[in-house]
């Protein structure tokens, strides 16, 4: 337990005031929001909790700081003396007034609250730089010590008005306590709340506004970091590769093309670079995958045109495999620098054409090794009831036409 | 489109060098285009943003404007809308980094006679310029595929569609399909047993439908980007 207490650290990110609840939540695993609600309820029930909070703020070191604020505050003799000189008479006066008015519950809240205020002033005087900045920006406007000085008159007016309304409310509350006016306590409570709104409203509003702005800024920064990471992983790496292989134009073109496809897939199709799924579920995806793989493996440009789209089934996967075979053949044998793949989804058939403008061949007179490939293309689609036609002539390039009847028709 | 390297480049029937105006914000790319077109054309001017382009084109009236789609000051669209209403005789050929339909379809609908990607080779570029100068359309396989997609026959024609403008004839469909497969106009003609000139007229008619049709697949691109 002691070790656990010693390992408590206040977090600069997860805090409303001093970050004490955030620290407790991190150590216990309870959501910080619940810890905060608990603290507030206990503080209302008993003023001691305010004091406990202030002491925890004083004693638990901020994350990243070497020591706690207490170790610095203890040497702040002047601060302690001044606080004691101001707070002790005030405390005595309040105790005296409340006991003479027969409202001991206010007095009961009184002494821990005063102690807490003293501790918080000590904290403010001795906090680290980052915490000081936080207090200055978010907490000091509450006390009216706005560094810019503007709005001070408005603040004074607010405080005077608030104190008047609040005093009236307390008076009515106290009256309602002794005499028995049915609506008295209610009216008093309303006045006290009104006082709180008048005094704290603008501060609270500005706090909420700052919080929203801060959250937006953080989201933006995260997005930027993510984008930077993506660009680094893809574009910058490729640029580095291109510089290194600048004496190999073929390689440069290949790299640039692959990068362009990837960047495009990321920017316009929402696919993260480097995370292209191996199994496509739609025909267009499958054709895009074929394009990227053949381009990457064989250094040939694959121009894809898609008309329509449909989900992939086994027969269409066979067509894709055959089309890949045909594209790789073109890359290996045709000598052309580009292959066109055209896929069209019609009502009852899917057609895929793979065409190159390379040296071409006579389909009736192909070497044995290519015969086998042609067979494999044809056999693949034939198994599912499709057909493959190879059209070519020497010097005229080649075109493989694949067609497959659709099992699942569009309704 | 892809036969530029092998096939001889055909000069426009009128003879003479077409007068070219280049609108492009990338200085390096401008220099590249100038070098590639060389003496085959007459460069009459350049601009790197929309407003200056509209002014200079209206003043010099070139035969063909090479127009970058992504241009500061309103993009290629602003140039088309600034020039075409007053000078319909000026032909526009759009340049785009990509051939993705979403990048080019609204320039085509705003009146460009075709588009080419910036990775095009010199001879292909020249071929495209000549074709547009002659009043023909320049379709890439990708654009042909997009048109087939957009004009897909989904059962009965939707009510309110003009069959003249909103549907492709079977012949046009065949022509587009072959272009999408990577055939040149000449090859398309040979495959279908028609002349290259007839292929060109089919393509021009498709371009007209592409520009005038109100099919939602076409207007979608523009409305998605709040351009209309």
Residues B125, B147 within the same domain = no
Taking an 8 Å cut-off on Cβ atoms, the answer to whether B180 and A305 are in contact is yes
Residues B184, B110 within the same domain = no
Taking the CA of residue A147 and the nearest CA in chain B, the distance in Å comes to 44
Residue to substitute from B4, B182, B184, B217, interface A, most A β-carbons within 10 A: B182
Question: Searching chain B, which residue's CA lies closest to the CA of residue A343?
Answer: B181
Residues B28, B114 within the same domain = yes
Residue B7 lies in a domain: no
Residues B123, B148 within the same domain = no
* Cβ(A21)–Cβ(A36) below 8 Å: yes
Q: Which domain holds residue B68?
A: 19-136
Residues B78, B25 within the same domain = yes
Q: CA B219, CA B228: separation in Å to the nearest integer?
A: 9
Residue B1 lies in a domain: no
∠ CA B151-B155-B161, nearest 5°, is 55
Q: Which residues in chain A are contacts of B152 at CB distance < 8 A?
A: 307-308
Residue from A109, A102, A110, A97 nearest A179 by CA:
A102
**Rounded-to-10 torsion of CA A235, A240, A244, A249:** 20
CATH number of domain containing B26? 3.40.50.2300
Residue B9 lies in a domain: no
Residue A411 has pLDDT above 50, yes or no: no
Taking the CA of residue A212 and the nearest CA in chain B, the distance in Å comes to 29
Residue from B25, B95, B23, B31 nearest B62 by CA:
B23
Residues B119, B199 within the same domain = no
**Rounded-to-10 torsion of CA B127, B131, B133, B136:** -160
Q: Over the stretch B183-211, which tens digit does the pLDDT of each residue have?
A: 888 889 999 999 988 998 999 999 988 88
**Rounded-to-10 torsion of CA A294, A299, A305, A308:** 20
Residues B195, B173 within the same domain = yes
Q: Which residues in chain B are contacts of A357 at CB distance < 8 A?
A: 2-3, 6, 182
Q: How many domains does chain B have?
A: 2
Q: CA B123, CA B108: separation in Å to the nearest integer?
A: 23
CA distances from A106 to A109, A168, A194, A265, A325 (A): 5, 16, 19, 67, 87
Q: Over the stretch B10-66, which tens digit does the pLDDT of each residue have?
A: 454 455 789 999 998 888 888 888 888 888 889 999 998 888 999 999 999 999 999
Q: How many CB atoms lie within 10 A of CB A8?
A: 16
Residue B14 lies in a domain: no
Q: Which residues in chain A are contacts of B2 at CB distance < 8 A?
A: 338, 340, 357
Taking the CA of residue B180 and the nearest CA in chain A, the distance in Å comes to 6
Question: Searching chain B, which residue's CA lies closest to the CA of residue A261?
Answer: B98
Task: Among B121, B136, B151, identify where a domain stops.
Answer: B136
Residue to substitute from B181, B184, B217, interface A, most A β-carbons within 10 A: B181
**Residue A206 pLDDT:** 80
Q: For residue A392, what pLDDT band results from cuts at 50, 70 and 90? A: confident
CA distances from A128 to A59, A65, A120, A137, A317 (A): 13, 8, 14, 14, 65
Residue B177 near chain A (CB below 8 Å): yes
Residues of A at the B interface, defined by Cβ within 8 angstroms: 264, 268, 303, 305-308, 338, 340, 342, 344, 353, 355, 357, 399
Q: Which residues in chain B are contacts of A342 at CB distance < 8 A?
A: 141, 145, 177, 180-182
Residues B132, B23 within the same domain = yes
Taking an 8 Å cut-off on Cβ atoms, the answer to whether B182 and A303 are in contact is yes
Residues B91, B127 within the same domain = yes
Residue from A32, A265, A357 nearest B2 by CA:
A357
Q: CA A360, CA A364: separation in Å to the nearest integer?
A: 12
Residues B153, B184 within the same domain = yes
Instruction: Give me the interface pTM, i.e. the ipTM.
Output: 0.76
**Residue A102 pLDDT:** 63
Taking an 8 Å cut-off on Cβ atoms, the answer to whether B145 and A340 are in contact is no
Residue B78 has pLDDT above 50, yes or no: yes
**Residue B2 pLDDT:** 42
Q: CA B181, CA A340: separation in Å to the nearest integer?
A: 7
Q: For residue A5, what pLDDT band results from cuts at 50, 70 and 90? A: low
Q: Over the stretch B151-168, which tens digit does the pLDDT of each residue have?
A: 876 544 555 666 677 788
Residue A209 has pLDDT above 50, yes or no: yes
- In chain A the domains, ranked by start, together with CATH numbers, are 1-143 (no CATH), 147-276 (no CATH), 287-405 (3.30.565.10)
Compare A108 and A264 and report the one with higher pLDDT: A264
Residues B127, B170 within the same domain = no
Compare A396 and A100 and report the one with higher pLDDT: A396
Residue B14 near chain A (CB below 8 Å): no
Q: CA A349, CA B188: separation in Å to the nearest integer?
A: 22
Q: Over the stretch A342-369, which tens digit does the pLDDT of each residue have?
A: 999 988 899 999 999 888 887 777 666 6
**Residue B1 pLDDT:** 42
Q: Over the stretch A41-80, which tens digit does the pLDDT of each residue have?
A: 877 766 677 778 888 887 888 776 667 777 777 777 777 7
* CA B158 to chain centroid: 28
């Amino acid at each position: 337990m002691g070790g656990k207490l010693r390992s408590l650290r206040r977090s600069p990110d997860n805090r409303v005031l001093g970050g004490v609840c955030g620290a407790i939540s991190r150590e216990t695993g309870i959501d910080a929001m619940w810890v905060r609600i608990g603290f507030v309820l206990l503080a209302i029930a008993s003023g001691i909790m305010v004091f406990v909070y202030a002491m925890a703020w004083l004693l638990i070191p901020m994350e990243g700081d070497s020591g706690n604020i207490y170790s610095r505050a203890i040497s702040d003799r002047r601060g302690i003396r001044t606080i004691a000189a101001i707070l002790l008479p005030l405390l005595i006066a309040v105790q005296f007034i409340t006991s003479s008015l027969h409202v001991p519950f206010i007095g009961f809240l009184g002494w821990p609250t005063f102690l807490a205020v003293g501790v918080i002033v000590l904290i403010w005087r001795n906090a680290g730089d980052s915490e000081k900045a936080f207090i200055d920006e978010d907490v000091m406007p509450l006390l009216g010590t706005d560094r810019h000085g503007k709005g001070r008159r408005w603040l004074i007016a607010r405080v005077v008005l608030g104190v008047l309304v609040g005093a009236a409310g307390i008076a009515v509350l106290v009256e309602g306590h002794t005499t028995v006016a049915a609506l008295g306590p209610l009216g008093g409570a309303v006045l006290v709340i009104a006082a709180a709104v008048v005094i704290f409203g603008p501060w609270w509003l500005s706090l909420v506004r700052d919080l929203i702005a801060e959250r937006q800024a953080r989201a933006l920064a995260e997005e930027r970091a993510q984008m930077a990471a993506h660009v680094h992983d893809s574009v910058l790496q490729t640029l580095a590769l291109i510089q290194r292989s600048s004496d190999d134009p073929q390689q440069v073109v290949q790299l640039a093309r692959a990068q362009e496809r990837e960047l495009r897939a990321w920017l316009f199709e929402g696919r993260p670079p480097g995370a292209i799924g191996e199994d496509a579920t739609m025909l267009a995806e499958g054709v895009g995958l074929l394009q990227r793989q053949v381009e990457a493996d064989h250094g040939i440009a694959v121009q894809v045109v898609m008309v329509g789209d449909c989900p992939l089934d086994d027969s269409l996967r066979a067509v894709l495999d055959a089309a890949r075979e045909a594209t790789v053949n073109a890359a290996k044998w045709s000598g052309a620098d580009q292959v066109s793949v055209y896929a069209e989804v019609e009502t009852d058939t899917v057609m895929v054409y793979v065409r190159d403008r390379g040296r071409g061949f006579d389909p009736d007179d192909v070497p044995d090794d290519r015969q086998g490939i042609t067979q494999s293309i044809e056999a693949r689609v034939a198994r599912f009831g499709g057909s493959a036609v190879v059209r070519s002539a020497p010097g005229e390039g080649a075109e493989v036409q694949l067609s497959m009847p659709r099992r699942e028709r569009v309704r | 489109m892809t036969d530029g390297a092998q096939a001889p480049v055909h000069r426009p029937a009128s003879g003479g060098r077409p007068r070219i105006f280049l609108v492009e914000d990338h200085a390096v790319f401008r220099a590249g285009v100038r070098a590639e077109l060389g003496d085959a054309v007459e460069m009459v001017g350049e601009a790197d943003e929309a407003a200056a382009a509209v002014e200079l084109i209206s003043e010099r009236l070139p035969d063909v404007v090479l127009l970058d789609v992504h241009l500061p000051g309103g993009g290629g669209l602003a140039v088309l809308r600034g020039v075409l209403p007053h000078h319909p005789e000026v032909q526009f050929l759009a340049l785009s980094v990509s051939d993705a339909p979403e990048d080019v379809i609204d320039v085509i609908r705003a009146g460009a006679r075709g588009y080419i990607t910036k990775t095009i080779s010199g001879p292909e570029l020249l071929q495209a310029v000549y074709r547009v100068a002659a009043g023909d359309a320049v379709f890439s396989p990708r654009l042909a595929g997009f048109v087939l997609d957009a004009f897909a026959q989904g059962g009965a024609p939707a009510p309110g569609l003009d069959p003249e403008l909103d549907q492709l004839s079977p012949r046009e469909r065949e022509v587009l399909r072959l272009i999408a497969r990577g055939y040149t106009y000449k090859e398309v003609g040979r495959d279908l047993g028609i002349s290259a000139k007839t292929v060109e007229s089919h393509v021009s008619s498709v371009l007209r439908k592409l520009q005038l049709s109100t099919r939602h697949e076409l207007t979608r691109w523009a409305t998605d980007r709040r351009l209309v």
